[in-house]
Each structure stands twice: as structure tokens, then as C-alpha cells.
Amino acid sequence: MNDDMIFKICLLAALGVYGMTSLVRPQPKDTIKLDRTIPDLQITGAPTSLVLQRVAGSSSVPIGIEALPEIDGQTRTIDVRLKGATVRAVLDLVVKKDPRYVWQTAGPVINVFPKGPKDPLLGTIVSHFEVKNVNREEAIRALENSIEVQKILAETSLSDRTLKSLPGDSEYGLPKFSLDLKDSSVRSILNSIMLKSSSKSWVFFRYGARKDSFSVLMH
């Protein structure tokens, strides 16, 4: 057997091994999360943001939500009744029932936001966000006090300038973490805080007669 024949045999063997390993290649983490099953989800007459928070809590898949403001004091509600459905199926059903929203993955996080214009605050880019040995409350306060966020709050004259976690939550015992992010949007930073603090979801919403007040709830 000459050298040329030996080379061809080795090449074919290598290609065969590659083909076999490609068949068992692990799924991306995003796909694994979306295929996670929620045993039972029965929700009646709840705001879309609350439904999504329940999905996050039931599936342990972190979700960041930009909620649309109420119109004339009316809150849109939906019903979700599913058993043994995947996270993907639940999300698809939610945006079908409330087509004002779309969802997409952002690494290990799911973000849900309006189909139309997004809130400029969440899209604000912070050039450098760094915190050390803080809990989520302290991290959110640091984000609020960043130069870029303070600037847009002043420009838009928002009356409530408080970014906060779920009211009633105590800071005692919350996990500590550090973050060092560059050129990141407020939405992305909130995602990172949620992940680092082992929180399940965050919700951004505006309120008030002129929608000039806002809050961010994380839990």
C-alpha cells in the first residue's frame, strides 16, 4: 500500500469520526432553556407582565420585561392554561394572546418588549458600569446614578427617578456579586444584575397621567 492510499484512508476515517461527533453535538444553552417543560401553568385574567413573571418563576428561566403602560387606566389581561408545555410554547402563546409584544433570547436570558418603539431609557448605553461586592439593590442604585442614566432622566424630566427591586424585599441576606461591563445598554445591564443576583425576572414600566414616572421591579 503506497503513501497516497494510506493518506486517503486516514482522511476518510477522520471525516467519519467528525460526522459522528457532529451528530451528538450539545445543543446551545438557549435551546435547552427554551425546551424546558413547565408541568402546569394556569393563569386567568392577569396582566401580560405578571404572566411572564410566573413563567420565569415556574421554569427558572430568567426573563427581562419591558411592559407597555396602561391606557386610560385600563390594564390588558390574558389567560394562559397549559400543562406540560415548553418555555418556547408558553412564550409563543403569550405573544399570540397579546400581540403587542415580541420575545427574543439574549444569551441565557429572555427579553420581552413591545413590537413598536422601545423605551429610550432601556436603550441608553452606559460606557462603563462597575460594581464590587454588592447586592442587586445596590447594583440597581449604582445604575441609576450612572452619568448616562442621570443625563437621560434629566432630559426626559421623569418625575420618579427610582430604580428599585420589589417593594418589601429586604436587602439582608441577598447574594453579593461584582460586575464590570463596558458599552452596555441599561437593558443588558439589568439582565446581568438579574443573572448575578440569581433573580428570576425584572419588569420595567411607566406610569402616571403623562407616563413620566417609571419603575424597575426585580425579584
Q: Give the chain's mean pLDDT.
A: 85
Which range, of 8-22, 46-60, 169-183, 202-216, averages the lowest pLDDT? 8-22
Three-state SS at 20: helix
Write down all domains in the chain, each with its CATH number in brackets.
26-117 (3.55.50.60), 119-219 (3.55.50)
Out of 72-76, 96-100, 136-140, 204-208, the most confident range is 96-100
User: Is the model's pLDDT at 34 over the cut of 60?
Assistant: yes
Q: Could you tell me which of 177, 218, 174 has the C-alpha nearest to residue 194? A: 218
Q: Could you tell me which of 52, 66, 62 has the C-alpha nearest to residue 215? A: 66
Instruction: Report pLDDT digits (tens) over 94-135.
Output: 999 999 999 999 999 999 999 999 999 999 999 999 999 999
Which residue has cell 469520526? 17
Between 9 and 96, name the one with better pLDDT: 96
Strand order in the sheet with 201-207: 101-106, 109-114, 63-66, 201-207, 213-218
Amino acid occupying residue 121: L
Instruction: Report pLDDT digits (tens) over 156-165.
Output: 887 554 545 5
Instruction: Report pLDDT digits (tens) over 73-84.
Output: 788 999 999 999
CA distance 89 to 166: 28
User: Is the model's pLDDT at 179 over the cut of 80?
Assistant: yes
Provide the pLDDT for residue 73. Answer: 75
13 CB-near residues (< 8 Å, 6+ apart): none
Which triple of cell numbers denotes residue 141? 442604585
CA distance 202 to 185: 15
Provide the pLDDT for residue 70. Answer: 84
The pTM of the full predicted model, rounded to 2 decimals, is 0.83
Work out the percent of the chain whose per-residue pLDDT is above 90. 67
Give the pLDDT mean for 4-23.
41
Provide the pLDDT for residue 81. Answer: 97
CA distance 211 to 38: 35
Contact, 73 vs 218, CB < 8 A? no
